[in-house]
């Protein structure tokens, strides 16, 4: 792979999609009260994010943390320009999401048979058939459609997932009129070379489709993977405030790429991200109080790279000594 990113990217637009309220909250042990979920999403709505995945319309037995999906989606103070999406595994979820006013249905299935069975209790072929029913329903209702393919870069139980499997599934849904596909690295198995290769193959096969890359930072490769994806033509990323996140049905899953760390890197490089980073950081700062534990985000702890530290008082003395030795 050749790394050819210019020192200063020339204002290329990158879209940031917040998934903390779904991928993040779904794995929290403590149920976040509905009003607090809504308040955080309302604040995120003012940060310049392109899309917010507000919740998932899944079985409350499977994902009890998001059992209040209907109230959350109905209770949001919507901002123009923000797409409010929700994860949907089946027809029942799609009906609930449409009734609650979701702008987009983010249909989910896994590229790995084992993960699909554990996460959705269906074979991949059963999921595909169910989701194609949802596509037909949503087309009639005028809602936008995206399909998230879990384990696109590997499965924690099966290992490698062939790119051909991922591309075949993507093609099947795009042929039926779905607008976008998300390639998900559900347990942070991908490395930058692999991300670049799959994104390039996707772009070559489906140049018109909206491509989102959904990365987890489980092995510290999240930001490197994001950059590799940008170089390969991706311009949309899911990310999670504070670096929260993880699938409860994928062994070893940990947090997503952290939204504020991703925005910080891309803005520093000169990409156009249109996200209000100080406001996003202020929102991230509320997470430990909301969740009862610290979060992995790094800029939150270290500050932005150009936030200056006070010069130690001993500097003047050190300077005099150094100059005296000249």
Cβ-contact 236, 210 below 8 angstroms: yes
Q: How far is the CB of 109 from ligand COA (least distance, A)?
A: 9
Q: How far is the CB of 322 from ligand COA (least distance, A)?
A: 58
Tell me whether residue 135 or residue 268 sits nearer to ligand COA (CB atom).
135
Q: Is 23 in the site for Zn ion (CB under 5 A)?
A: yes
Note if 184 is an active site residue.
no
Tell me whether residue 45 or residue 148 sits nearer to Zn ion (CB atom).
148
Element housing 55 (H / E) = strand 51-56
Distance CA 57, CA 288 (A): 26
Q: Is 113 in the site for Zn ion (CB under 5 A)?
A: no
Choose the one of ligand COA, Zn ion, none that binds residue 93, judging by a C-beta under 5 to 8 angstroms depending on kind.
Answer: ligand COA
Q: How far is the CB of 115 from ligand COA (least distance, A)?
A: 9
Q: Of 19-27, 71-79, 283-291, 313-321, which segment contacts Zn ion by CB under 5 A?
A: 19-27
Q: Of 22-30, 82-90, 219-227, 283-291, which segment contacts Zn ion by CB under 5 A?
A: 22-30
Choose the one of Zn ion, ligand COA, none that binds residue 62, judging by a C-beta under 5 to 8 angstroms depending on kind.
Answer: ligand COA
**Within the chain, how many helices (H) and strands (E) appear?**
13, 8
Tell me whether residue 23 or residue 261 sits nearer to Zn ion (CB atom).
23
**Three-state DSSP string of 183-204:** EEECCCCCCHHHHHHHHHHHHH
Sorted by sequence, the CB contacts under 8 Å of residue 158 that are 6+ apart come out as 112, 113, 114, 115, 151
What part of residues 223-242 is at the interface with Zn ion (CB under 5 A)? Answer: none
Return the structure tokens found at 249: 């049905």
Choose the one of ligand COA, Zn ion, none that binds residue 89, judging by a C-beta under 5 to 8 angstroms depending on kind.
Answer: ligand COA
Tokens 């985000």 locate to 297
Distance CA 222, CA 239 (A): 10
Tell me whether residue 58 or residue 98 sits nearer to Zn ion (CB atom).
58
Give the residues lining the site for ligand COA (CB under 6 A): 26, 56-63, 89-90, 92-93, 96, 108, 119-121, 150, 247, 249
Q: By C-alpha distance, which of 128, 232, 250, 114 is closest to 178?
A: 128
According to DSSP, residue 64 is labeled: G
Q: Is 185 in the site for Zn ion (CB under 5 A)?
A: no
Residue 15: strand pairing partners: 236
Distance CA 285, CA 308 (A): 19
Choose the one of Zn ion, ligand COA, none that binds residue 55, judging by a C-beta under 5 to 8 angstroms depending on kind.
Answer: none
Choose the one of Zn ion, ligand COA, none that binds residue 108, judging by a C-beta under 5 to 8 angstroms depending on kind.
Answer: ligand COA
Q: By C-alpha distance, which of 185, 245, 264, 299 is closest to 18?
A: 245
Catalytic residues: 247
């Amino acid at each position: 792979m050749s790394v050819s990113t210019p020192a200063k990217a020339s204002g290329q637009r990158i879209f940031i999609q917040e998934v903390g309220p779904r991928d993040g909250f779904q794995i929290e042990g403590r149920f976040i009260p509905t009003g607090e979920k809504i308040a955080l999403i309302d604040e995120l709505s003012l940060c310049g994010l392109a899309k917010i995945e507000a919740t998932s319309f899944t079985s409350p037995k499977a994902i009890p943390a998001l059992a209040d999906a209907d109230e959350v989606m109905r209770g949001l103070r919507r901002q123009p320009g923000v797409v409010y999406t929700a994860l949907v595994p089946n027809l029942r979820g799609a009906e609930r999401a449409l009734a609650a006013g979701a702008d987009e249905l983010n249909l989910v299935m896994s590229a790995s048979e084992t993960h699909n069975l554990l996460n959705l209790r269906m074979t991949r072929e059963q999921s595909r058939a169910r989701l194609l029913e949802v596509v037909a329903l949503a087309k009639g209702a005028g809602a936008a459609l995206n399909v998230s393919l879990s384990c696109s870069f590997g499965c924690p139980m099966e290992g490698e997932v062939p790119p051909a499997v991922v591309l075949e599934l993507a093609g099947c849904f795009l042929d039926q009129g779905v607008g976008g596909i998300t390639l998900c690295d559900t347990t942070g198995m991908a490395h930058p070379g692999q991300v670049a290769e799959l994104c390039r193959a996707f772009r070559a096969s489906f140049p018109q489709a909206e491509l989102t890359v959904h990365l987890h930072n489980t092995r510290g490769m999240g930001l490197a993977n994001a950059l590799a994806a940008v170089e390969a033509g991706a311009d949309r990323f899911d990310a999670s405030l504070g670096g929260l996140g993880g699938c409860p049905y994928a062994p070893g899953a940990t947090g997503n790429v952290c939204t504020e760390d991703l925005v910080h890197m891309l803005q520093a490089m000169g990409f156009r991200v249109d996200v209000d980073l100080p406001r996003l950081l202020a929102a991230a700062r509320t997470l430990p109080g909301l969740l009862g534990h610290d979060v992995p985000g790094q800029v939150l702890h270290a500050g932005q790279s150009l936030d200056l530290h006070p010069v130690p008082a001993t500097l003047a003395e050190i300077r005099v000594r150094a100059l005296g030795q000249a």
